[in-house]
Amino acid sequence: MRSIRCLSLVVLTGMLAGNAGAQTDPYRPNALYEGPNKLNTWSISVRGGSPQFYGDLREYDFWPAPHPKEYRPASERGAVGFGLDVNKQLSHLFGASLKLDAGNLRGAKSRIYNSYFRAEYFQTALVGNINMKSLLFGPRKLNRWKIDLHAGFGVLWFKSTAYEIGTGRIKRMSNITQEIVDRDGPNGPYAGLDVSPKKRSNAVVFPVGLAIAYELSPRFDIGIDFVLNNVNTEKLDATVGGDNTSMYDRAGNRGNIQDYKRGNSDLDKFATPYLTLTYKFGKNAIKVGRDKVWDSAKGTYNLRYTDPRLLYKPERILSMSEIDSIAKANRPKDIDPRLLIDSDNDGVSDYFDKQPDTPAGSIVSGAGVAIDFEQIVNSLTPGQACLEIFANVNFDSDKSVIRPEYNEMLTRIVELLNRTNCRLQLTGHADRRSSDRHNITLSERRVQAVKNYLIKAGVANPSRILTEAYGAFKPIGDNTTKQGQEKNRRVELRFLP
DSSP for 61-95, written as a single string: SSSPPP--GGGGGG------EEEEEEEEE-SSSEE
Q: What is the pLDDT of residue 381?
A: 58
Q: What is the pLDDT of residue 146?
A: 92
- Mean pLDDT check: name the lowest of 100-114, 305-319, 333-347: 333-347
Q: How far apart are CA 116 and CA 59, in angstroms?
A: 10
2-310 is a CATH 2.40.160.20 domain: yes
Q: Which of 13, 32, 11 is nearest to 90 (CA)?
A: 32
Q: How far apart are CA 127 and CA 209, in angstroms?
A: 10
Q: How far apart are CA 257 and CA 59, in angstroms?
A: 21
Q: Which of 348, 351, 356 is nearest to 337 (CA)?
A: 351
% of the chain residues with pLDDT over 70: 72
Q: How far apart are CA 76 and CA 20, in angstroms?
A: 45
Q: Which of 81, 87, 83 is nearest to 51 (CA)?
A: 81
pLDDT at 204 over 50: yes
Q: How far apart are CA 186 and CA 197, in angstroms?
A: 19
Contact status, residue 117 vs residue 161, Cβ threshold 8 Å? yes
Q: What is the pLDDT of residue 165?
A: 84
Tell me the per-residue pLDDT of 29-87, one tens digit each, with 9 for 90 and over: 444 555 567 889 999 999 999 999 998 888 876 666 665 555 667 788 889 999 999 99
**Contacts of 496 by beta carbon, 8 Å cutoff, 6+ apart:** 386, 422, 423, 424, 425, 466
Mean pLDDT of 274-301: 88
Report residue 444: phi and psi, to 5°.
-65, -40
Q: Which of 349, 330, 331, 329 is nearest to 339 (CA)?
A: 349
Q: What is the pLDDT of residue 340?
A: 63
CA angle in degrees (0–180, nearest 5) for 272-277-278:
115
Q: For residue 172, how far is the Cα from the chain centroid?
A: 56
Mean pLDDT of 442-451: 94
Encode burial over 197-220: b for 16+ CB neighbours within 10 A, e otherwise. eeebbebebbbbbebbbebeebbe
Q: For residue 450, how far is the Cα from the chain centroid?
A: 59
Q: Helix, strand, or coil here: 345?
A: coil
Sign of CA dihedral 124, 127, 133, 139: positive
Q: Greater confidence, 316 or 304?
A: 304
Q: Helix, strand, or coil here: 108?
A: strand
CB atoms within 10 A of CB 20: 11
Mean pLDDT of 89-102: 94
Q: How far apart are CA 491 and CA 407, in angstroms?
A: 14
Q: What is the pLDDT of residue 227?
A: 97
Q: For residue 158, how far is the Cα from the chain centroid?
A: 42
Average pLDDT, the chain: 79
Q: What is the pLDDT of residue 254?
A: 47
Q: What is the pLDDT of residue 16?
A: 41
Tell me the per-residue pLDDT of 376-414, one tens digit each, with 9 for 90 and over: 666 665 655 576 777 889 999 989 999 998 888 888 888
Contact status, residue 413 vs residue 493, Cβ threshold 8 Å? yes
% of the chain residues with pLDDT over 90: 33
CB atoms within 10 A of CB 379: 10
Contact status, residue 194 vs residue 176, Cβ threshold 8 Å? yes
Q: How many residues does the chain have?
A: 497
pLDDT at 241 over 80: no
Q: Greater confidence, 38 or 301?
A: 301
Contact status, residue 417 vs residue 492, Cβ threshold 8 Å? no
CB atoms within 10 A of CB 67: 17
Q: H or E segment at 306? A: none
**Which neighbouring-strand residues pair with 104?**
120
Q: Which of 105, 106, 99, 101 is nearest to 82 (CA)?
A: 101
Q: What is the pLDDT of residue 293?
A: 82
pLDDT at 452 over 50: yes
- Quote the strand ranges of 351-450, DSSP E: 364-365, 389-394, 423-428
Q: What is the pLDDT of residue 200?
A: 76
Q: What is the pLDDT of residue 475?
A: 87
Q: For residue 124, how far is the Cα from the chain centroid?
A: 30
Q: What is the pLDDT of residue 154?
A: 97
Residue 188 pLDDT class (50, 70, 90 cuts): low
Q: What is the pLDDT of residue 272?
A: 95
Contact status, residue 173 vs residue 118, Cβ threshold 8 Å? no
The one-letter amino acid code at 46 reads V
Q: Greater confidence, 169 or 154?
A: 154
Q: What is the pLDDT of residue 150?
A: 97
Residue 325 pLDDT class (50, 70, 90 cuts): confident
Q: What is the pLDDT of residue 21?
A: 37
Q: What is the pLDDT of residue 48?
A: 97
pLDDT at 213 over 60: yes
Residue intervals in the chain for CATH 2.40.160.20: 2-310
pLDDT at 208 over 50: yes
Residue 24 pLDDT class (50, 70, 90 cuts): very low
Q: What is the pLDDT of residue 178?
A: 58
Mean pLDDT of 362-385: 65
Contact status, residue 416 vs residue 376, Cβ threshold 8 Å? yes
Contact status, residue 364 vs residue 371, Cβ threshold 8 Å? yes
Contact status, residue 341 vs residue 349, Cβ threshold 8 Å? yes
Q: What is the pLDDT of residue 147?
A: 94
Q: What is the pLDDT of residue 244?
A: 45
Residue 136 pLDDT class (50, 70, 90 cuts): very high
Q: What is the pLDDT of residue 252?
A: 34
Residue intervals in the chain for CATH 3.30.1330.60: 337-496
Q: For residue 57, how far is the Cα from the chain centroid?
A: 51
CA angle in degrees (0–180, nearest 5) for 78-83-85:
165
Q: Helix, strand, or coil here: 157?
A: strand
CATH architecture assignment, domain 337-496 = 2-Layer Sandwich (3.30)
